[in-house]
Structure 1
Amino acid sequence: MFLVIVTCVVTAILSLALTPLIRKFAFKIGATDKPDTRRINLKEIPTLGGLGVYLSFFFALFFLLPIPIRQILPIFLGATIVIITGIIDDIKELSPKMKMVGITLAALVIYFVADIQMDSVSLPVIGSISLGWLSLPITVIWILAITNAVNLIDGLDGLATGVSMIALTTMGVIGYFFLTVEDAVVSIMIFVLVGALAGFLPYNFFPARIFLGDTGALFLGFMIAVMSLQGLKNATLITLIIPVVILGIPITDTIYAMLRRYLNKKPISSADKMHLHHQLMALGLTHRQTVLAIYCLAAIFSVIALLYPISTLWGSVFLTLGLLFGLELFVETIGLVGKDSQPLLARLRKFAKNLNKKE
């Protein structure tokens, strides 16, 4: 444990030292975010922040921890493909399809080379179900979905970095205390990544001097997806639910963004200014307050996720129902679906009103 703590601290210091150098490099190659109608920043900000996180993280894994190279190398290869995709996008802005190609290629490396995949699912009453040939598409879709969900919330200074730190810490705690020895090794890797993010956050929190960029947001989403998969090789209903709950903020924002665009008859990949952070700021919160509010929401999801390993089956069912109900109320309160769509509660009230009229 002492070695892990020292490694996390060294990784944070390395990330802290690398970030100013990455910032200068980003300016030189033109990897910057310029103000426009879709972005929050009012001045040109360098991106590529995720490159420093990536370099410090894998330096720690390769040189500071006694983890077999064969366990790290395939993950490194997949992450490198994602990083290259992100760097190109930060400089030239790739189309969504091209980004998907890069992430899919990285996902295939994880499946075939790293042998990290979802093989079977154990369900109550039914028992274990082998996924067979479905293992490949489910694994790739999982990686694509989580990667893009994290990328989607990267809209405010320090937002994706902080939410990822909260999610990763929760995953690490659950893996270390509640799962297997193999999961404990994954947890150590997770804590090292948290250390790398801790070194980067001072430069990224409001007012940010550097952004994660797609380089960092895609890398973080990819690593979270891969590390969660390592605990889902032979998944149960609970182990499937836990990472979804931990990532409740980015997943909720992604699902409702897709629903909102579908209802407004816009392409799923189109951008808008109605994400969670946009809606909270529209309620009157400042930039910093919005980020801190979303941190608190992410922490609530994480606390709920920590209850699953110690709950009974029925306890988990009621926990999930309560979470979904609370989430629906919150989504309707801030108008995440959109102004023109009728929320669920409004429909229920209308239904109840019609019943009263008939009586």
Structure 2
Amino acid sequence: MIGKIKQFNFKSLLIFNTFALTVTSYLFNNFIFLGVYLLFYCISLFTTKNGLKIIKKFHLFQNIRNEGPANHFKKRNTPTMGGIFLIIPFLIFTLIINIHLNSIKLFLLLVSILGFFIIGFFDDYISIKNKENTGLKSNEKFIFQSIIAMIFIFIAYEKELINPLITVSETWGIDTNIFIFPISFLVLVGLSNSVNLSDGLDGLTGGCSAIIFYGLGTEILIKEQQELIVFSILCYSMSGICLGFLKYNCYPAKIFMGDTGSLSIGAIMGSIALLTNSLFTLCIFSGLFIIESLSVIIQVGFFKITKKLSHNGKRIFLMAPLHHHFELKGVKETKIVENFWKINILLVILGIVLKINL
């Protein structure tokens, strides 16, 4: 079905995602999921549209690195830091729910999101202020991310909110024992940076994130654990938020989410997966983000090794992350994004099928 669609654009993704959530709501006999999703889609449309005016007023424009593809220079001076209008509505919604439920899990989720949001905000602000495409230094960013991640992990582990037995199915799990600490750290910091690295083409991160949040929310519902339903609601609200933002972020983008959005989105995915023991399926759902990150690691590692051995560094890809490799191969930006969305849909379907059948 997906392959027959000649152009899988924003409207196609919106229809597909909404249809999938409608079916999910029907199957679980609870249309609050669809309602929350549509509500936050509308909220995101409103906040992004009006936030765009604010960003232009304060001249918060994107800087493009000289090392990137030449066709990206036309993106210079596109309004950025749009992540503010994605994450703040989600933070407010989570806070309201937590006030009502008084949940330590939701409190930790808030701490994690807020921490990564602040890091991303200052990274974007410094970049704009210095008129360069670099804000915080990579080691500074990593230290701050590590502090937030370790606070989250140790409190969650002490309160027994993180399960060392990673659930694969109802009858099978992987006992990570003490290795749950590095695994949790890798999920939080690694996924946050993976989403950030993937945010290089118009609509790529926003579209893939909307799909992943739908998948994660549905996977949590399949667990049939009453106390976790709130996280499904949060995932569906975030799916709607991402699509509302995507309306203005798809090609040609009128606004970028910046590190403010991408770092926070990765943190939300990772935190929810850890608190709901959904790591196995999240690894499948976010496969594209992981591959994007691995392409950078492979590229840098291979270059350093070959430079040390032959004094002439070589590259595997034309440019990393992987989406830039395809750009330099001559594939149109819209086609790359479209195919990434399609692959992500297939990954979500795969993850849900495995969850049901294993």
CA–CA distance in structure 1, aligned partners of residues 44 and 87 of structure 2:
9
Query: For this pair of structures, how many residues does the alignment match?
Result: 302
DSSP 3-state at the match of 2:304:
coil
1:244 lines up with 2:283 in the alignment? yes
1:86 lines up with 2:98 in the alignment? no
Pair 1:34–1:300, CA change in 2 (3 A): same
2:243 pairs, out of 198, 203, 206, with 198
Shift of residue 16 of structure 1?
Answer: 1.3
2:333 pairs, out of 282, 287, 292, with 287
1:261 lines up with 2:264 in the alignment? no
Structure-1 residue corresponding to 2:111:
77
Pair 1:173–1:279, CA change in 2 (3 A): same
DSSP 3-state at the match of 1:46:
coil
| 5+ residue gaps, structure 2 | 1-29, 127-134, 308-316
Write the deviation string for residues 274-293 of structure 1: whole angstroms up to 9, x where unpaired.
32212222343222111111
Write the deviation string for residues 307-341 of structure 1: whole angstroms up to 9, x where unpaired.
212334xxxxxxxxxxxxxxxxxxxxxxxxxxxxx
Pair 1:128–1:217, CA change in 2 (3 A): closer
CA–CA distance in structure 2, aligned partners of residues 230 and 59 of structure 1:
19
Residue identity in the other structure for 2:351: A
- The answer as to whether partners of 1:61 and 1:67 remain within 8 angstroms in 2 is no
CA–CA distance in structure 2, aligned partners of residues 123 and 295 of structure 1:
25
- The answer as to whether partners of 2:295 and 2:320 remain within 8 angstroms in 1 is no
Structure-1 residue corresponding to 2:221:
176
- Paired residues for 1:159-170 under 5 Å: 159-170=204-215
Shift of residue 294 of structure 1?
Answer: 0.9
Structure-2 residue corresponding to 1:136:
181
- The answer as to whether partners of 1:186 and 1:230 remain within 8 angstroms in 2 is no
- Paired residues for 1:1-359 under 5 Å: 1-37=30-66, 38=68, 40-42=72-74, 43-63=76-96, 68-70=101-103, 71-92=105-126, 93-113=135-155, 115=159, 116-121=161-166, 129=175, 131-132=177-178, 134-232=179-277, 240-265=279-304, 273-312=319-358
Residue identity in the other structure for 1:16: L
- The answer as to whether partners of 1:86 and 1:215 remain within 8 angstroms in 2 is yes
DSSP 3-state at the match of 2:83:
helix
- The answer as to whether partners of 1:149 and 1:250 remain within 8 angstroms in 2 is yes
| 5+ residue gaps, structure 1 | 233-238, 313-359
CA–CA distance in structure 2, aligned partners of residues 128 and 82 of structure 1:
28
Normalising by structure 1, we get a TM-score of 0.75
Shift of residue 130 of structure 1?
Answer: 6.1
Pair 1:248–1:6, CA change in 2 (3 A): same
- The answer as to whether partners of 1:79 and 1:106 remain within 8 angstroms in 2 is no
Residue identity in the other structure for 1:47: T
Write the deviation string for residues 22-54 of structure 1: whole angstroms up to 9, x where unpaired.
334434555421234326251311211111111
Write the deviation string for residues 242-286 of structure 1: whole angstroms up to 9, x where unpaired.
22111110101211220121011189xxx9833221222234322
Normalising by structure 2, we get a TM-score of 0.75
Residue identity in the other structure for 2:291: T
- The answer as to whether partners of 1:121 and 1:130 remain within 8 angstroms in 2 is yes
- The answer as to whether partners of 1:8 and 1:192 remain within 8 angstroms in 2 is yes
CA–CA distance in structure 2, aligned partners of residues 148 and 189 of structure 1:
21
Pair 1:263–1:130, CA change in 2 (3 A): closer
- The answer as to whether partners of 1:117 and 1:136 remain within 8 angstroms in 2 is no
Shift of residue 202 of structure 1?
Answer: 0.5
Pair 1:69–1:8, CA change in 2 (3 A): farther
Percent sequence identity over aligned pairs: 23
CA–CA distance in structure 1, aligned partners of residues 117 and 223 of structure 2:
32
Residue identity in the other structure for 1:302: V
Pair 1:127–1:255, CA change in 2 (3 A): closer
Structure-1 residue corresponding to 2:9:
none
Pair 1:212–1:151, CA change in 2 (3 A): same
CA–CA distance in structure 1, aligned partners of residues 89 and 348 of structure 2:
26
Write the deviation string for residues 202-234 of structure 1: whole angstroms up to 9, x where unpaired.
1111111110100000010000111111232xx
- The answer as to whether partners of 2:33 and 2:233 remain within 8 angstroms in 1 is yes
- The answer as to whether partners of 1:49 and 1:216 remain within 8 angstroms in 2 is yes
Pair 1:126–1:82, CA change in 2 (3 A): closer
Pair 1:27–1:102, CA change in 2 (3 A): farther
Shift of residue 153 of structure 1?
Answer: 0.5
